[in-house]
Structure formats: structure tokens, C-alpha cells
Amino acid sequence: MSYVIVEKCLGERYAVCATVCPVECIHPIQHQGQEFMIIDPEVCISCGLCLPECPVGAIIASEEEDPAYAKINKELTPQCKDAPPAPERPKNDPPKRPGNKLVN
């Protein structure tokens, strides 16, 4: 069972999650015309290191929690596997999306 990045990441992309991932399964991509990150479900080992790193709580621990975004992560994976890493955004940088709040 893979972790999943959900809609809260759309337009935010802090990218700290990718830095801590020991299997490099988190990749940057454009989705709906905005910055986004996805988790490759074939590579994710559900280690949990990324979960506390997302300052807006955009990572969930189970595909069952948001099947729609689990599908989006899986479908976008082939397009971004070879993408260069996204630059990290400071965790204390205020969210850009209305309604998103820093959780850490």
C-alpha cells in the first residue's frame, strides 16, 4: 500500500517530502496547470518519513483514504519519473492556496 499526495499539494509543492524519501519515489509534475508532487506507488515502501515533512498535510498514508488521488498519482508517474528534483520551499513559507494552513 502506497502513500498518496492529495489535492492540498496542488499549487504548493514544498518538495521537502522528496528530500527525505529513501527510495526516491516522490516526483515533481505540473497537474491542472499547477505545481504538484506525486508518489510512485510501485516504488513507495510506506516508510512514513515523508508524512510529517509536508507542512500543509498533503500526504496521506493509504490509497483507500483518497482513491481518486491515488489514481492520479499512479497515472502521472510515468510522465515525471525522469524529472529533475524540485527545489525545496521553506516549510514556514505560507501556503499559496486559500484554505491551506501550515500543520507542522
> Looking only at Cα atoms, what is the longest distance across the chain?
32
Whether 50 is in a domain gets the answer yes
Average confidence (pLDDT) per 10 residues, the chain, 104 residues: 96 96 97 97 97 97 97 96 93 93 86
| DSSP code per residue over 45-57 | ---SSSGGG-TT-
For every residue of 38-84, DSSP letters joined together read EE-TTT----SSSGGG-TT--EES-GGG-HHHHHHHHHHHHHHTTPP
CATH number where 19 lies? 3.30.70.20
Domain count along the chain:
1
What pTM value is reported for the model?
A: 0.95
104 domain-assigned: no
49 in a domain, yes or no? Answer: yes
**pLDDT value at residue 104:** 63
> How high is the pLDDT of residue 17?
97
Residue 38 placed within a domain = yes
Does the residue 53 lie in any domain? yes
Domain range spanning residue 16? 4-80
Is 92 domain-assigned?
no
Residue 34 lies in a domain: yes
pLDDT at 20: 97
Per-residue pLDDT, 68: 98
Distance CA 19, CA 36 (A): 15
Is residue 103 domain-resident?
Answer: no
pLDDT of residue 36: 97
